[in-house]
Structure 1
Amino acid sequence: MAASRSATRAASPALACGVTAGERVPRRRDPSTRRVASASVLAMTLTITRAAGSADAGGLLCHLRERSRPVTQTDASYHRVPDEVPPPPSGCPVTGFTPFAPDYLADPYAVLDGLRDTPVFYSSELGYLVVTRMDDVTDVFLDPETFGSQNVQDPVFPLSDAAHAVLAAPDFNPVAVMSNRQPPDHGRIRNHTKQGFSNRRMRILEPYIRRRSHDLVDALLAEGSPADFVPVFAHPLPGETIYRFIGFPTSDDEKLKEWCSDRLAFSWGKPSEAEQAEIARKMLSYWRYCRDFVASKVDDPGDDYTSELLAVHKQDDTELTYREVESIVYGLSFAGHEIVSHFLSNALTCLLPRRDQWGELCADPSLIGAALEEVLRFESPQTSWRRVANVDTEVAGVKVPAGTNIFMSLAAANHQPDIFDDPGDFDIHRANARNHISFGKGIHFCLGARLARLEANVALEVLTERLPSLRLVEGQSLERFPNITFRGARQLLVAWDA
């Protein structure tokens, strides 16, 4: 039987909020951040014009010596957070909507349901046009020429001086390679990066994922009931899996986890100046590690993803440059770690309170795949994604000027009542659950979707087999990571029978 989300829904945030469409909107600043014109010198986001001696407006680019010919970037832009954001599109409702609000962090679906009658609106808090309807979100995804992805990993708020200084290091020079790379180069790179996620590679990884899942259940048992599922199971399994996929040695796992932590907050959250600087230092250390690691694989390849990318580069450096290989390795650790960690914890928050459905999975593991698709629809680990209008255009009848940042609400689309009957009910037998949009659409469809599904499927097979009495500790209040895009629990206390 499907279980219902609370029938109480939040009222729609008041429109207008004292702002008239067409007025310029001062950007709301968190007191912990400073107004700094910021090149997005991020691990996975920096888009670089790689002609020798080129420099960005902030003087951050150094002379890049490629080990292959330069690739012309058609999207050589440096997204900055301006002192003033573009005005709301004319005729567009304006709201005080923000994903950082406590009510949204607690239950985004209730907040979004209150806005269901306003499918496109402008958030004065974010400076983004918010798009909530499935058809409109899909249209934006499927039109990369009109709606560029160059802003998807930019910080929501400006970088502090200290973080800016760290990432201005001459040797910190990753390039955009995946989710924020634009056509035509995106197609060239994707053609090779997707080969590593083949059925053969998944077959190689599955025994490792299953073995580690059993090891981590052993770790839970050693911890004793109750235990926190996030640090013991949900966090290490996808991290270690993506490290093995890339080819990193197991001896480096702990320092890799340390370096890669908190990057979610850097690009999608609201970290303090001190936190920004600390995360930036970790990013720089990890980039240097990745460069050394890729260099070590040049003459000592193995049966891993990095070696496959280098083989393409060696065969034809116009297909993948050496810097692009370094940057793919660098960016993949986050994409393949944090999202899957949230996927695993969200699966338990959906399934464990619904004992009848959990019991069905324990009795019949063949249902796990369908159950996970409903998890992705009902409580996606990724609730939004971003685009920017490259040209003057229109979304759902609203005229959108070039340069407008767009916040696509995957959470709202996945709970759209005219697509999913009773969307607030969680039902592992939902016939069209796979129609969710949690992995995106079009040319930027999630590269690691197959691996994420494999990890979650194997993890649930092991958990249902070994811990059928697994349950959530009653009375706990789930604290979510405060950010605009990813949804997962910081802590998830679980218990089981001895």
Structure 2
Amino acid sequence: FGYRDFPPGTMPGVDEPKPSWVVLNFDDVAAVAWDHDSFSSRDSLQEESSAPSLMLVNHDRPEHTRLRKIAAKAFQPSSIKSLAPAVDALAANCMDDFFVTDQPVDVMADYCAMLPSRVMAYLFGMPAEMDRDVNNWATGFMLSADISPQERQAYNVQAMTFFEQHVKKQIDLIEKGEEPPGPLINAFIRTEVDGDRLSYEEIVRFCMTATVAGAETTSFYLGNLIAVFADFPEIWQTFVDDPKQFDAIYKETLRFHGPPQRLFRVATRDITIGSADIKRGDWVACFFGAANYDPDTFPDPYTFQLNRKNANRQMSFGYGIHRCLGAPLAQLEAESTARILRYRYAQIERAGDAVWQDVSLLNHGLASNPVIFRGRT
């Protein structure tokens, strides 16, 4: 008891994190994440900070149930699957913009940072040239950018101001019978479940949540996937020989190099986890990344193994009622990236040391990932 760290959206150097218990093994992480009655997801530090509170991530039942029903309809699998042609086009264009065949490329500086941002801009009907803004908002809010509190706050204000104005414009256009661009923001506006719709304020905050979480996490995942292809040539060759193996590669990459590392919970009652006597009001840090390396659940965890029988148990997208709704979208971007890489390039080689970001423990991802994409002869 005594680990201190910052939840997303808070301000290092301004906000003061509270000491928390650390939960690491698979069974204990699962117990805390599943028991939403004993462990609240409300984040008082974020609520008291100047940053906007996230939707779903920081809600408890019954409000979480209401919000998730509506959001789940907006993120239904058929809707995500219908985005495949647009995501393919964005991925191909992004590679055209940033990749040079047979020359070193740091994919974290461009492709992995920009594809998720361009996808989010498309989903929200934003001008394409705002892709850098989306990236800045995400890295600032999710704490992976080493910037001052003033810069972080400025990005939060920019993002919220934009979405407050943008959502109003979209609502006005829809009420006039027009069909504005932005399939996800339009779904947030139009979706109704049991006669219930999201309020204007909720739509704005859902846009903010999806933007910062979707752009940030997927950026790191894409970098980690490309690192697997570069660092484990046999995995790349397996995929080249049999593209149906991608699902197994995707799942094991989530376990081996899953971006989301930890989230906080707050005990609502006195409870014992393992040998720890946790008191009501204590903070608990669930390290999903550590659970993914628990040898009792995943034997030989430091070995990248395809076709683990329990691959679906990895926790990189959370566990229980807070499992990430945007996971299928992240998978769609990863599938598109891998498929186009396989079509265009014969091999992916390491061109320099992979440097893992050390600004935040929130995400496991690369700050620098230099590789060479070898063209087909």
TM-score (normalizing by structure 2): 0.88
State the alpha-carbon separation in 2 of the partners of residues 260 and 423 from structure 1.
30
Unmatched segments (≥5 aa) in structure 2: none
- Within the candidate set 161, 167, 170, 1:294 is matched to 167
State the alpha-carbon separation in 1 of the partners of residues 307 and 92 from structure 2.
27
Aligned pairs for 1:339-378 (under 5 A) are 339-378=217-256
Q: Are positions 1:424 and 2:316 aligned together? A: no
Aligned pairs for 1:45-444 (under 5 A) are 81=16, 127-151=19-43, 154=46, 167=50, 174-222=52-100, 225-265=103-143, 275-301=148-174, 302=179, 304-312=183-191, 319-444=197-322
Number of aligned residues: 366
Which shifted more, 221-230 or 396-405?
221-230
Whichever residue aligns with residue 195 of structure 1, its letter is K
Q: Are positions 1:488 and 2:365 aligned together? A: yes
Whichever residue aligns with residue 253 of structure 2, its letter is V
The CA deviation at 1:211 is 1.5
1:458 aligned partner: 336
Question: Closer, same or farther in 2 for the Cα pair 1:399/1:370, shift >3 Å?
Answer: same
Contact 2:354 2:368 in 1 (8 A): no
The CA deviation at 1:351 is 2.8
State the alpha-carbon separation in 2 of the partners of residues 361 and 252 from structure 1.
34
The CA deviation at 1:458 is 1.5
State the alpha-carbon separation in 2 of the partners of residues 479 and 221 from structure 1.
21
Runs of 4+ in structure 1 displaced over 6 angstroms?
A: none
1:478 aligned partner: 355
Question: Matched residue of 1:408: which SS?
Answer: strand
State the alpha-carbon separation in 2 of the partners of residues 497 and 394 from structure 1.
54
Contact 1:260 1:286 in 2 (8 A): no
Greater relative contact order (Cα 8 A, min sep 6): structure 1 or 2?
A: 2
Contact 1:410 1:438 in 2 (8 A): yes
The CA deviation at 1:350 is 2.2
The CA deviation at 1:196 is 1.4
Contact 2:54 2:208 in 1 (8 A): no
Q: Deviations over 1:86-132 (max 9, x none)?
A: xxxxxxxxxxxxxxxxxxxxxxxxxxxxxxxxxxxxxxxxx221111
Question: Matched residue of 1:191: which SS?
Answer: helix
Contact 1:152 1:385 in 2 (8 A): no
State the alpha-carbon separation in 2 of the partners of residues 152 and 206 from structure 1.
38
Q: Deviations over 1:160-195 (max 9, x none)?
A: xxxx7xx4xxxx8x5552100121111101100111
Question: Closer, same or farther in 2 for the Cα pair 1:467/1:355, shift >3 Å?
Answer: same
Whichever residue aligns with residue 298 of structure 1, its letter is I
State the alpha-carbon separation in 1 of the partners of residues 87 and 44 from structure 2.
29
Question: Matched residue of 2:347: which SS?
Answer: coil
Q: Which has the larger radius of gyration?
A: 1
Whichever residue aligns with residue 163 of structure 2, its letter is C
State the alpha-carbon separation in 2 of the partners of residues 153 and 339 from structure 1.
22
Task: Tell me how large the CA RMSD over aligned residues is.
Answer: 2.9
The CA deviation at 1:140 is 0.8
The CA deviation at 1:224 is 6.3
State the alpha-carbon separation in 1 of the partners of residues 4 and 55 from structure 2.
31
Contact 1:380 1:487 in 2 (8 A): yes
Unmatched segments (≥5 aa) in structure 1: 1-20, 30-37, 46-79, 86-126
State the alpha-carbon separation in 2 of the partners of residues 252 and 28 from structure 1.
34
Contact 2:228 2:235 in 1 (8 A): no
By percentage of residues, which structure has more helix?
2
